[in-house]
Amino acid sequence: MPETTTATAIAAVRDAQDAVAAAEVVSLQAVVAWAVEHRVELGVVTPESFGDNGVLLGGVGCPLVCEFDVYDLAATLGMSSDAGCNFVGKTLELRYRLPKTWERVVALQVPKWKAFRLAELTMNLTYEAATYIDQMLAPVLHSCTYAQIDHGRAREGVIIGG
């Protein structure tokens, strides 16, 4: 067994973190692909849908998805129904309403947790307000702390839901 030094241990931790971040991106992309396959058109009810009209988990502009199928996905992800709905909602918010932030997450330039925090804050906004926030914060989101993301919401209160 080779001797572990501080430098090799830190390198191993960094490599593991990079692998986790890459796996998270693959998971997010898979959830988006899943949502496309389980998209429901508003007002279209088929015998196969058993009355499921779909649910909007992200903000306006995100696709409606089959509610019952979200629960299956949540179970696959090892989450409760509510946690699964929240996860899918934040993922769709990123992909469909925060495209600049989405691009930076996919490029491994912004960690998922920061992007998800921003998604939580924009879900109840108009499409235009979410687009504005995306344009303003995506370029600097990698350097923002949790508190700074929240502070940005408070500072832009007129735009972000004050």
Say how far apart CA 122 and CA 105 lie, in whole Å.
16
- At 112, is the pLDDT very low, low, confident or very high (cuts 50, 70, 90)? very high
Entry field: residues in the chain:
162
Question: Token pair 């998209």 is at which residue?
Answer: 39
pTM, entire model: 0.85
DSSP 8-state assignment for residue 39: B
Question: What are the tens digits of pLDDT across the range 15-71?
Answer: 999 999 999 999 999 999 999 999 987 655 555 656 667 889 999 999 999 988 999
**Which pLDDT score is estimated for 42?**
66
- Nearest residue to 144 via CA among 103, 101, 99: 101
